[in-house]
């Protein structure tokens, strides 16, 4: 389960910051112009989260990283909740977009899935953020517009287009969380999955009874031998994405069959 969520800060202030309106402009101060900016704070927050995780990101630690006092930081961003939304939108705005491998909608949507997976791989802390209340900033809106383009003109209505995109992105997020959990398990145990299974093989062989659970023993052994672990995130992503897209093929085909043809001319 995600331990953080977007949209947790003050909505009005968050939207002002996302769209860079009504930014604080310190006045009445003598001396050089301030070198700090909202953009610099966002970049610093992303870097800190990438290095230490989102739980480690605090306004005080970020202020130290930016060589300013915590109170100075608060004059630009009200708190961590608003900062997380700014960080998310900043990543969305800078997402790399690969060229699809084909010309059809399936190739376009596959590219969208790979783009989002790559974003999660570069910023592992994203898997711990729930975006049910997404940051409605320029980065997100541009991302949504671009990704909907993969489904435009293929016969789906607007609600179905949104649902299909949500379906694909939800799959990507679920595999990203599983991958992040596997990475955390390896880090905390100081063992690779293969090392963990090897160390626990004698115990597991006493627990798992092929006579009592023949399918579990056979299939589990085959999968473990194939992947060297209970989960291979790369295989899970590629296998699952193909099945997700196969499901959408059925939807698009069904919509095409229901689409009315041109009206018949009277004899």
Which whole number is the average pLDDT over 58-74?
A: 96
Binned at pLDDT 50, 70 and 90, residue 191 comes out as confident
* Span 102-155, pLDDT tens digits: 999 999 999 999 999 999 999 999 999 999 888 899 999 999 999 999 999 999
The whole-model pTM stands at: 0.84
Residue closest to 127 by CA, chosen among 136, 137, 117, 135: 117
- CA pair distance 150, 34, nearest whole angstrom: 43
Enumerate the CATH 1.10.357.10 domain ranges in the chain, comma separated: 99-257
The answer regarding whether domain 99-257 maps to CATH 3.40.50.2300 reads no
- Please enumerate in sequence order all residues whose Cβ is within 8 A of that of 54, keeping only pairs 6 or more positions apart, or say none: 3, 4, 84, 125, 128, 129
**Between residues 258 and 66, the one the model is more confident about:** 66
Average pLDDT, the chain: 88
Query: Is 4-92 CATH 1.10.540.10?
Result: no
Which band of pLDDT confidence, cut at 50, 70 and 90, is reported for residue 31? very low
Q: Which regions of the chain carry the CATH code 1.10.10.60?
A: 4-92
Q: Give the containing element (helix H, strand E) for 204.
A: helix 193-207
């Amino acid at each position: 389960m995600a331990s953080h969520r977007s949209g947790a800060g003050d909505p009005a202030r968050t939207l002002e910051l996302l769209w860079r309106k009504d930014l604080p402009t310190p006045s009445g101060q003598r001396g050089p112009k301030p070198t700090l900016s909202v953009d610099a704070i966002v970049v610093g927050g992303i870097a800190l989260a990438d290095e230490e995780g989102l739980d480690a990101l605090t306004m005080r630690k970020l202020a130290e990283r930016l060589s300013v006092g915590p109170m100075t930081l608060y004059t630009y961003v009200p708190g961590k909740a608003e900062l997380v939304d700014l960080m998310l939108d900043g990543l969305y705005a800078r997402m790399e977009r690969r060229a699809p491998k084909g010309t059809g909608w399936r190739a376009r949507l596959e590219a969208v899935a790979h783009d989002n997976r790559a974003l999660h791989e570069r910023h592992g802390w994203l898997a711990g953020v729930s975006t049910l209340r997404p940051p409605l900033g320029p980065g997100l809106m541009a991302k949504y517009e671009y990704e909907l383009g993969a489904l435009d003109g293929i016969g789906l209505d607007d609600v179905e287009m949104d649902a299909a995109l949500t379906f694909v992105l939800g799959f990507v997020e679920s595999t990203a969380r599983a991958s992040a959990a596997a990475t955390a398990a390896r880090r905390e145990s100081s063992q690779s999955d293969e090392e963990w299974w090897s160390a626990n093989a004698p115990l597991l062989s006493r627990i798992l009874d092929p006579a009592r659970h023949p399918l579990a023993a056979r299939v589990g052994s085959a999968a473990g031998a194939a992947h060297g672990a209970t989960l291979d995130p790369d295989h899970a992503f590629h296998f699952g994405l193909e099945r997700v897209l196969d499901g959408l093929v059925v939807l698009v085909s069904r919509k095409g069959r229901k689409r009315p043809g041109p009206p018949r001319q009277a004899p």
